[in-house]
Homo-oligomer: A and B are copies of this chain.
Amino acid sequence: MTSATAVDVPRPVRRQGDRVAQVLTFAETRCAASGLRLTPTRRRALEILVTEGRAIGAYAVLDRLREDGFGGHPPVAYRALDFLVANGFAHRVEARNAYVACTDPGRSHNPVLLVCRACGMVEETRSNAAKEALGAAARASGFQLEDTLVEVVGLCPACAEDMP
């Protein structure tokens, strides 16, 4: 693998339009089916996350919402992001105080997030083994599990290649 392109080119690329439209359509369908309201603000916030393709902060989302004429105050972004996270369309990346579109909405919450500390890219995977291990750990302590937060911080393949 040559690393030439990875150095200069912003990470999120390839067939953006298709995927963005696909995710939005899916979200619309799913919200309609569940009685959720994918309002313009929420829809646009999701579009921003999907287009970005990596973890971005709430205030970055807010800036873009403002550019598009949506409200320009923090609660606007946080409400929209809270909705997306609560309903499985996005994930909060605790390691970065940031948000990323869910790449597999409609399936599996409690993902394992592989977070690149260099470029902010987030790969979303699943691990039943990890999930079960956490459930077991909680049970062993009499702890009532409500939510799990599993993130792996490191370097994505492209950035690992670029680093000496």
Residues of chain B contacted by A129 (CB below 8 angstroms): 129-130, 132-133, 136
Cβ B150 vs Cβ A154 within 8 A: no
63-87 of chain A: CB within 8 A of chain B: none
A145, B152: Cβ atoms closer than 8 Å: yes
Partner of A160 from the list B116, B123, B144, B147 (CB cut-off 8 Å) is: B144
Whether A153 sits at the interface, judged by CB under 8 Å, is yes
Chain B proximity mask over A114-130: 1 for CB below 8 Å, otherwise 0? 10110000010101011
Contact B138 A114 (CB under 8 A): yes
- A95 CB-CB contact with B under 8 Å: yes
Residues on B with beta carbons closer than 8 Å to the beta carbon of A147: 152-154
How distant is the Cα of A157 from the Cα of B138 in the complex, in angstroms? 10
* Min C-beta distance of A54 to chain B, whole Å: 14
| Contact indicator A134/B153 (Cβ below 8 Å) | no
A97 to chain B, nearest CB (A): 9
Alpha-carbon separation in the docked complex, A151 to B130 (Å): 12
**How many Å from the CB of A125 to the closest CB on chain B?**
5
User: Does A146 lie at the interface of the complex (its beta carbon under 8 Å from any beta carbon of B)?
Assistant: yes
Asked if A13 lies at the interface with its beta carbon under 8 angstroms from chain B, I say no
Tell me the minimal C-beta distance from A78 to chain B in angstroms: 15
Instruction: List A residues 132-164 near B (Cβ within 8 Å).
Output: 132-134, 136-138, 140-157, 160
A-B contact pairs, 11 of them (CB 8 A): A125-B137, A127-B136, A129-B136, A138-B152, A142-B157, A143-B152, A144-B155, A144-B156, A146-B155, A147-B152, A147-B153
